[in-house]
A and B are shown apart, each in its own frame.
Chain A
């Protein structure tokens, strides 16, 4: 069966300036697939500069890969035309980080929600359009009478972000890209927004790519996780396995640094090596080698392949070189749905 979405050895390289040769590899040979018939929530996690937003931009077709291909239902998204392109635009939706920046302050919520209905001809009458808007708002836990007719500045950050989710939902997408959807809203509202994402997945069969640096919320909503570090996959697998028993030293450091709201679970004691000033130098080995407490000779020579450390977990680290190698193209095999 053709997957809904497929990354085939996607690499994205940004070059700086007109003349200089300095380049940054934002995403380095990533392959993954999301099946059409099994809606899932996949987390892409990493620090700033890990390439997670580049991945979102590629996926939405805002930028194109330097190497490799991104296929949507078997077709290269760079080559989509006409009807197919329109379908892709409708079926792949996004929710971005900043709920304050994405609204046009001059338009009411009604306008924001009715534009996509008109553009994609989702309703035959005003009445039907109104019903659809109300249904979408109800689905994210907002009362239509509270928000319809209002301007963005009259709404809280949490309400705005839920309207974004409602707008995406309205289009009955197949895939939603949520790039840090809760990092700018109050902790007390995060739960509500994440719950609407989960319902979208469960009740409407939408697959979600949840991009975040916050592993606590990722743990709560996602089925699987891919951990990126400077463009490369460090670890991937079942979310419970990876969060509860991380194998890669980088993932360990990340999870050790989460401030859990639990007085009995203290912050880790592992020493953090400062991030090296990178001057765009060409690195031959593992990208994490300079900060890794377990660094070995081999780490500096060549980047490690992915080793399958458990049925649903793989880590790109020479500590596990006794385990079977998992080809990059096979990454999705360890990701549960």
Chain B
């Protein structure tokens, strides 16, 4: 039996406009990685697929876990806070 873990996903800037929410929770298998979560997000929000992943390199999508940049192979654990956001533009 596959165990599930629950993670919180936060969206920022234009990605929040695309998701239509600023945060939501996902139940994922406990061996899931960031890239598996991204597949679930694309299913739930087809606009992500059309407007972000179809047209851009992965480099244009930033992912953080608990406040630190991670790559798409990062493993996820119960309670992790994942954020998805476009390239930053502070300063």
Answer yes or no: are A and B bound together in one complex. Answer: no
